[in-house]
Amino acid sequence: MQVPYLFLSKFDTIYIFSMSNIQTIAIAGAGTMGSGIAQVCASSGYKTLLFDINADMLVKAKSAIEKSLSFLVQKQKLSEAKSQEILANIIFTSQIESLVADLIIEAVVERLDVKHQFFQSVAAINSPTCILATNTSSIPVTQIAAKIPSPERVVGIHFFNPAPIMKLVEIISGVQTDLEVANTCKKLIEGMGKTCVMAKDAPGFIVNRVARHYYVEALKTLEENVASFETIDELMESSGFKMGPFKLMDLIGVDTNFSVTSSIYQLFHQDAKFRPNRIQQQKVDAGMHGKKSGKGFYNYG
């Protein structure tokens, strides 16, 4: 049994927190990442609240989770009874007032103002011991925590797409994040079958900073007509990568990938090596967002 720990808020109020107190997890944002994280949490037996202001997104999320679980049942990696149990663990809601939980993970749009507004809203209706986590791909956790009550309980829990399959999760500590909060989240997520790495709060953290050049250089190679995007993908896959950069951008979302690149570019003060590419900008402007829109660099029918 884990011993609770104490920490002081900036108002010198003593709060008691224990990992054993985490029974309910709320996920904000029912897109690809949010629904995937919800499936992971529900599969580990947690009561899971999946929130989105758009009711249509919740319908799509439920359908996507059902499809994912059905696939696992067909592959005999999951029983039908377990599949139904996982679904029963998830509550779909468009009412932010219902987001009362022990851990809240936001996976909303990559805009600092939106994240601030969301966390301020849920902080007002939750206990000071509720951990507030962000799944941001690039925005510094310290910036997100800056306007949140008790910023020491704000932490980054960065899953990768598709969340039910990808094992790696980054745990990011902002400047004010309590180390025990980060360590508790690491143990919690590892208990869900994931592999966690601890990261400092820097633009792009570890994976997105390193991976940026996998996309940026591939796009520049395409822009200079050195090779087609299909050839570049084939070459990278033949070199040992599971997916070429263009297939991966389509899977993640061309718009999401472009947004992360743009954010990291700004956070590094327009360092040329992170500069977004006009080809990707054109895809976004045309609504060619990859698999989720039916067309990106490749066509998906």
Phi and psi, residue 277, nearest 5° = -105, 140
Residue 288 lies in a domain: yes
pLDDT at 191 over 80: yes
Phi and psi, residue 24, nearest 5° = -120, 130
Q: Is 97 labeled as catalytic in the residue annotation? A: no
Residue 133 lies in a domain: yes
pLDDT at residue 3, rounded to an integer? 38
Domain edge (last residue) among 160, 183, 200: 200
Output helix, strand, coil percentages for the chain, rounded to the nearest 5: 45, 15, 35
Residues 55/164/299/288 CA torsion (nearest 10 deg): 50
pLDDT at 33 over 70: yes
Side-chain-side CA neighbours of residue 196 (13 Å): 20
Through-space distance between the first and last CA atoms of the chain, rounded to whole angstroms = 52
pLDDT at 5 over 50: no
What CATH number is given to the structural domain containing 130? 3.40.50.720
Residue 19 lies in a domain: yes
What CATH number is given to the structural domain containing 267? 1.10.1040.50
What does the pLDDT look like over 198-255, one tens digit per residue?
Answer: 999 998 999 999 999 999 999 999 999 999 999 999 999 999 999 999 999 999 899 9
Phi and psi, residue 295, nearest 5° = -155, 135
Are 39 and 166 part of one and the same domain? yes
248 CB burial (10 A radius; 0-12, 13-18, 19+):
buried
Are 109 and 43 part of one and the same domain? yes
Written as one string, the DSSP assignment of 247-296 is: HHHHHH-HHHHHHHHHHHHHHTTS-GGG---HHHHHHHHTT--BGGGTBS
Over residues 51-72, the mean pLDDT reads: 96
Q: Which of 35, 68, 208, 262 is catalytic?
A: 208
* Structural domain containing residue 263: 208-293
Q: Which residue has the higher pLDDT, 189 or 252?
A: 189
Q: Is 106 labeled as catalytic in the residue annotation? A: no
pLDDT at residue 301, rounded to an integer? 81
Domain edge (last residue) among 200, 227, 260: 200
Are 186 and 39 part of one and the same domain? yes
Q: Is 137 labeled as catalytic in the residue annotation? A: yes
226 and 286 Cβ atoms separated by less than 8 Å: no
Are 10 and 155 part of one and the same domain? yes
Q: Which of 137, 173, 259, 277 is catalytic?
A: 137
201 and 140 Cβ atoms separated by less than 8 Å: yes
Q: Is 213 labeled as catalytic in the residue annotation? A: no
Domain edge (last residue) among 183, 200, 217: 200
Q: Which of 89, 106, 152, 170 is catalytic?
A: 170
Over residues 282-298, the mean pLDDT reads: 96
Residue 301 lies in a domain: no
101 and 25 Cβ atoms separated by less than 8 Å: yes
pLDDT at 9 over 60: no
Over residues 250-278, the mean pLDDT reads: 94
pLDDT at 290 over 70: yes
Provide the token pair at 266: 């700004």
210 CB burial (10 A radius; 0-12, 13-18, 19+):
exposed
Average pLDDT of the chain? 92
Quote the percentage of the chain above a pLDDT of 90. 88
Q: How many domains does the chain have?
A: 2
Q: What are the residues facing 90 on neighbouring strands?
A: 48
pLDDT at residue 161, rounded to an integer? 87
